[in-house]
Amino acid sequence: MPSVIDEEFGHITLRRSAKASHVRIRVAPDGRLRASLPLYAPTFLVKRLIKTSRAQLRAMLAEQTADVSFEHGMQIGKSHTLITRRTTAEKPTVQRHGQQILVSLPEGKELDDPAVTRLIRDTVIEALRVEAKSYLTRRLAYLGNQGGFTYEKVRFSHASGRWGSCSSSGTISLNIALMKLPFELIDYVLVHELSHTVHMNHSQEFWELVESNDPHYKQHRRSLKKETPSI
């Protein structure tokens, strides 16, 4: 996806749309900035908006990350652990090593530093994508087989605020943030999308099909509403 690079905010992805009438910047589910603009609008308009709106953009990012916190030893997804350590280097670094997410912090830098948080989130997204491709692919196939569902293919992303979706062609899209959820809620989302391969709506027949594969779906649905797919 095309992007512009800003010294303060890093990569800002660009999305051109025929429906866009002006340039707009918002915070994407992955915690980074995303710009939408008309199909033929020049890129410099995005750069100009960034330059004139830095205070507002900082406030947007701060609000987005207010509920996001990382701490040493915390579990990430289902199989990763966040490990912090001090370093003599000038800049913080974050890397995934096996099932560990290693955060190297210079003196004066802490986990709640906005720049550090962005680095961690990038690596967390990478880790969750690895987990999602491994676990969700197999679990979707298992539940599909158990319920007699068929689907065309599965794809993974973190580009929207939805847990999952199913296209009319049978492609099931799953948000990698599912790996943050308890296993029973993951199953509910998978059953929900598998049921859309039969009913592309939320009719009574759809919910009856969901219930036949997840008898506690009402409880799971209520619990899911308390969660957010942001990372």
Record the pTM.
0.76
CA pair distance 15, 215, nearest whole angstrom: 40
DSSP 50-115: HHH-HHHHHHHHHHHTTT----TT-EETTTEEEEEEE-SSSS-EEEEETTEEEEEE-TT--TTSHH
- What pLDDT, on a 0 to 100 scale, did the predictor assign at position 10? 80
For position 140, what pLDDT does the model report? Answer: 98
Strands 171-175 vs 153-157: parallel, antiparallel or unpaired: parallel
Q: What is the pLDDT of residue 44?
A: 93
Distances (CA, A) of 64 to 14, 28, 60, 117: 19, 9, 6, 11
- Residue 165 has a CB neighbour count (10 Å cut-off) of 16
Q: Which run of H or E residues covers position 222?
A: helix 217-224
Q: Mean pLDDT, consecutive 10-residue segments, the chain of 231 residues? A: 83 90 86 89 94 89 70 96 95 95 94 86 93 97 97 87 91 95 98 97 97 97 90 78
Residues 72, 84 contacting (CB under 8 angstroms): yes
CA angle, residues 87, 92, 96, in degrees to nearest 5: 95
What's residue 118's pLDDT?
83
Query: Tell me, what's the pLDDT at 3?
Result: 86
- Look at residue 40 in the predicted model and tell me its pLDDT: 92
Give the integer Cα–Cα distance in Å for 80 and 75.
6
pLDDT number for residue 197 = 97
What does the CA dihedral 49, 55, 56, 57 come to, rounded to 10 degrees? 70
Largest CA distance in the chain: 61
Complete DSSP assignment for 119-170: HHHHHHHHHHHHHHHHHHHHHHHHHHHHHT---SEEEEE-SSS-SEEE-TTS
What residues have CB less than 8 Å from 141, skipping those under 6 apart? none
CB atoms within 10 A of CB 183: 10
Residues 6+ apart with CB under 8 A from 64: 27, 31, 230
